[in-house]
A and B are shown apart, each in its own frame.
Chain A
Amino acid sequence: MSKRRSADSSRRNFLKSAGLAGAAAAMVPPATANAVPAAPQTRKAAIPGPRQVAAETLAPAADPVNQTSSGGDFMVDVFNSLGIDYLAINCASSYRGLHEAVVNHGNNKPEIITCVHEDIAVHLAQGYAKMSGRPMAMACHGVVGLQHAAMAIYNSWCDRVPVIVLGGNIMEADKRAPGAEWPHSGVDIGQLVREFTKWDDQPASLQHFAESTVRAYKIATTPPMGPVFIALDAELQENPIANSKSLRIPKFEPVTPPQGDSGAIAAAAKMLVEAQNPLIICDRMARTPAGMANLVQLAETLQCGVIDNVGRMNFPSRHPLNQSFRRGLIGQADVILAIEMNDLWGSLTHFSDRIVRQSRPNTKPDAKIITLGVRDLYLKSNYQDFGRWQDVDLDIAGDGEASLPALTEAVKRLLDSSRKDAFSARGQKLAKLHTAMVEQSKTDATIGWDSSPITTARMCAEVYNQIKDEDWSLVGTAIRLTWPHRLWDFKKPNQWNGVSGGGGVGYNLPASIGAALANKKRGGFTVAFGGDGDFMFNPGALWTAVHHKIPILYVVHNNRAYHQEYMYLVAMAARHGRGVERMDIGTTIKDPNIDYATIARGMGVHGEGPITDPKDLAPALARAVAAVKSGEPAVVDVVTDPR
């Protein structure tokens, strides 16, 4: 981190012009002030000494060394007015003023969460927000730290998660010290992340800061949610407050999420009720604990299947109407209600990843598609996370969770006894198929049960056996690791919180710890799976978990490869009819194998493994669970088969 080395006369001149050099020490030359600390008056009506004479007769100092207020203090007051609980940081000189103010003026409120990389700080905030429902702030160096943070901000953007990102900057060129402050400053640092934040600003005054921060918070937490960025000018943070009486913290009132138009809701209800095979498909639907209950009510009213793309904890995994692993239903549906979908086209289309990339709809040609959501109400141009265009028949702009009760009531109003009988028969059929689906999953999980490397099915079954009686939340999984959703009984709103959003590697470990921080407050048990490749992007996140006493059971799905890429490379070689035996080059993480338990122990984390024999897994997990229940983080390194 850079050090701001020299006093800057123009900054001190601001102090002089503001007339706020109230402290006696500020009224004497710096050398004198340093040499003779101010002493309390012990006698009344004493003869004025040289310090007092100076205070009363000399002009204000040009270069004061003390101050009694700072813009940073006011910034802390603004954050606390919004109820921001935590500030995740990797410390940096460009926001030293704010940092000091949080510690001393705010008495460490918001509580600082120390991170060893900005990517960790943002991902931690992403995981925290999804589990707690509340955004966290993070602060970074505005240029170099923000570039480190950018990947995690992009994941948060794609995942529609609010994070309040703060970046220090020195706006005025004549205030920058020689050296690091120049490459660490920018004219418009927000442009680094503007394409994947909802809003940003660089306030030029404290009042401007207050209004922009409250506005940013409001924008971030209004669906579709997303990260926001505020540049913090160093002068504004560090200098005394020039006009404290005129400063005002704006009142924050959250936006009521928009509900779908009543006419459109009625039309959707009519289509769903009249359908022979209606189907609900959803992704990032549940924003609050009410979301899952709202969806269950609609599905049970219609007695229709639900395919959950698990972007959030939308629908119980063992609900009889859950058909998430029976995607063939898409091709049988005559009306599809798609709620808060991330990639609707991708979910309704078969796509071939072959030399000539082709696609075809999975839907019936005459299927009617209804969309309900707010995702497309805020899009940007450059990054293409909005996905391919999907034709639809009824497009309802409205927050999914907020609109569901009205839709359910509209459906109920259209029901008569004959329809209820038909719906009931449909539901019973789906329930049987659901039961068969679960039994098939259990049967499939037995294959290779005693093998080494350990199958992912066994790993997930063993973990569930250890935590099933806890108040658990699964907050991370590896790519295509679907066994938890196939085998575990997800039934509470806080038992799952989705995945990275943008697919940027390095999300899983820090975001899981962020979710665990949220769970710590309520006493929940947090568990996560994560790939070995993901782990190595941000292993330092474990230090944060130890330092802040955040309990979490983190199971490393260690297949010793960037396995998705390994498979793609095999496919590329096979296309060319050459070298299929060499595709471990550049795709595997071996020679040497990494010992993740030892890495964990090196940071003070309870570490188990590497575990290669499935018989050793249950005892290791039991020890790790005990450590977590005592308040520690624990890592279990499981050497696994690929998927």
Chain B
Amino acid sequence: MKRTKRIGSAALVGALFAASAWVVAQAQSQVQDAPAGDAGNGKRIYLAVGCFTCHGRSGQGGALTGPAPILASTAMPFDGFKGQIRDPSNDMPAYSDAVLSDKDIGDIYAYVKSLPGARSPKDIPILNN
């Protein structure tokens, strides 16, 4: 039953930018309620449990079966972030509390919030070829 719910949610979004669209929807519907996290410990966990494998060490995003959204300076509220980790709407693996505690998630959240986001490409000449 749970799986059906997940697939139903996923049906609301387009294929390529499914995860990004989900992030936006969550950001619009939920309040900011982030715990004070330890960004340093969050970085350690982010690298250890494999977050970086899809989302990149700089939170720049990537891809597996579908796109893995950008996490650097994420605007996603903590509840949405945690919900995506515990019960993802797409092909992202679900991390249960057996492998990732709520505190761990809070620390990861603090870390990705601290990562520098996008700059203006105009400041980087070779991106304007």
By a beta-carbon cutoff of 8 Å, the part of chain A in contact with chain B is 325-328, 330-331, 350-356, 358, 360, 362, 439, 442-449, 451, 453, 455, 457, 461-462, 464-465, 468, 480, 482, 487, 489, 563-564, 566-568, 570-571, 573-575, 577-581, 583, 641-643
Q: Is B54 at the interface (CB under 8 A from chain A)?
A: yes
Which stretch (B22-30, B75-83, B94-102) binds chain A?
A: B94-102
Known: A328-B16, A352-B91. A444 touches B70 (CB 8 A): yes
CA distance in complex: A574, B88 (Å) = 12
Known: A442-B121, A580-B49. A447 touches B58 (CB 8 A): yes
- A461 close to B127 (CB less than 8 A): yes
Q: Is B62 at the interface (CB under 8 A from chain A)?
A: yes
CA distance in complex: A487, B121 (Å) = 12
- A442 close to B127 (CB less than 8 A): yes
- A465 close to B129 (CB less than 8 A): yes
10 additional contacts, CB 8 Å, given A327-B15, A461-B127, A571-B64? A325-B16, A327-B17, A330-B15, A350-B18, A354-B3, A464-B129, A563-B53, A580-B49, A642-B57, A643-B54
Chain B 45-58 per-residue mask, 1 if CB under 8 angstroms from chain A, else 0? 00011101110111
- B63 close to A566 (CB less than 8 A): no
- B57 close to A570 (CB less than 8 A): no
- A444 close to B60 (CB less than 8 A): yes
Residue among A439, A480, A489 with max Cβ neighbours from chain B (10 Å): A480
B94's contact among A328, A455, A575, by CB below 8 Å, is which?
A575
CA distance in complex: A468, B94 (Å) = 42
Chain B residue contacts of A354, Cβ below 8 A: 3, 6, 91
- A358 close to B49 (CB less than 8 A): no
B14's contact among A331, A444, A564, by CB below 8 Å, is which?
A331
Chain A residue contacts of B15, Cβ below 8 A: 327-328, 330-331, 350, 362
- B50 close to A566 (CB less than 8 A): yes
B121's contact among A445, A451, A564, by CB below 8 Å, is which?
A445
CA distance in complex: A541, B78 (Å) = 50
Known: A358-B7, A487-B127. A574 touches B60 (CB 8 A): no
Report B77-129 residues with CB < 8 Å from chain A CB.
90-91, 93-96, 98-100, 116-121, 123-124, 126-129
Chain A residue contacts of B11, Cβ below 8 A: 350, 360
CA distance in complex: A325, B20 (Å) = 14
Known: A328-B15, A445-B127, A577-B98. A643 touches B93 (CB 8 A): no
B53's contact among A327, A457, A567, by CB below 8 Å, is which?
A567
Chain A residue contacts of B129, Cβ below 8 A: 461, 464-465, 468, 487, 489
Known: A327-B14, A455-B56, A567-B50. A574 touches B63 (CB 8 A): no
Query: Which single residue of chain A is at the shortest CB-CB distance from B100?
Result: A580
B118's contact among A362, A447, A642, by CB below 8 Å, is which?
A447
- A449 close to B119 (CB less than 8 A): yes
- A360 close to B7 (CB less than 8 A): yes
Return 13 A-B CB contacts under 8 Å, by A number: A352-B10, A356-B3, A358-B7, A443-B119, A447-B58, A455-B58, A564-B64, A566-B50, A573-B50, A574-B95, A574-B99, A580-B100, A642-B53
Query: Which single residue of chain B is at the shortest CB-CB distance from A455?
Result: B60
Chain A residue contacts of B42, Cβ below 8 A: none
Chain A residue contacts of B124, Cβ below 8 A: 446, 449, 461
Chain B residue contacts of A449, Cβ below 8 A: 119, 124
Chain A residue contacts of B61, Cβ below 8 A: 444, 447
Chain A residue contacts of B17, Cβ below 8 A: 327-328
- A577 close to B96 (CB less than 8 A): yes
- B63 close to A461 (CB less than 8 A): no
- B93 close to A574 (CB less than 8 A): yes
Instruction: Tell me how far the C-beta of B2 lies from the nearest C-beta in chain A, rounded to whole angstroms.
Output: 10
Query: Which single residue of chain A is at the shortest CB-CB distance from B91?
Result: A353
Chain A residue contacts of B94, Cβ below 8 A: 574-575
- A570 close to B50 (CB less than 8 A): yes
Chain B residue contacts of A573, Cβ below 8 A: 50, 93, 99
CA distance in complex: A563, B54 (Å) = 9
- A578 close to B99 (CB less than 8 A): yes
Known: A328-B14, A446-B124. A580 touches B70 (CB 8 A): no
- A447 close to B72 (CB less than 8 A): yes
A641's contact among B10, B57, B117, B128, by CB below 8 Å, is which?
B57
CA distance in complex: A330, B17 (Å) = 13
Residue among A445, A568, A583 with max Cβ neighbours from chain B (10 Å): A445
Chain A residue contacts of B10, Cβ below 8 A: 350, 352
CA distance in complex: A327, B66 (Å) = 12
Chain B residue contacts of A480, Cβ below 8 A: 62-64
Instruction: Tell me how far the C-beta of B32 lies from the nearest C-beta in chain A, rounded to whole angstroms.
Output: 22
Chain A residue contacts of B120, Cβ below 8 A: 443, 446
Chain B residue contacts of A360, Cβ below 8 A: 7, 11
Residue among A325, A442, A455 with max Cβ neighbours from chain B (10 Å): A442
B50's contact among A325, A439, A575, A583, by CB below 8 Å, is which?
A583
Chain B residue contacts of A564, Cβ below 8 A: 64
- B50 close to A453 (CB less than 8 A): no
Query: Which single residue of chain A is at the shortest CB-CB distance from B93?
Result: A574
- B119 close to A327 (CB less than 8 A): no
CA distance in complex: A621, B70 (Å) = 28
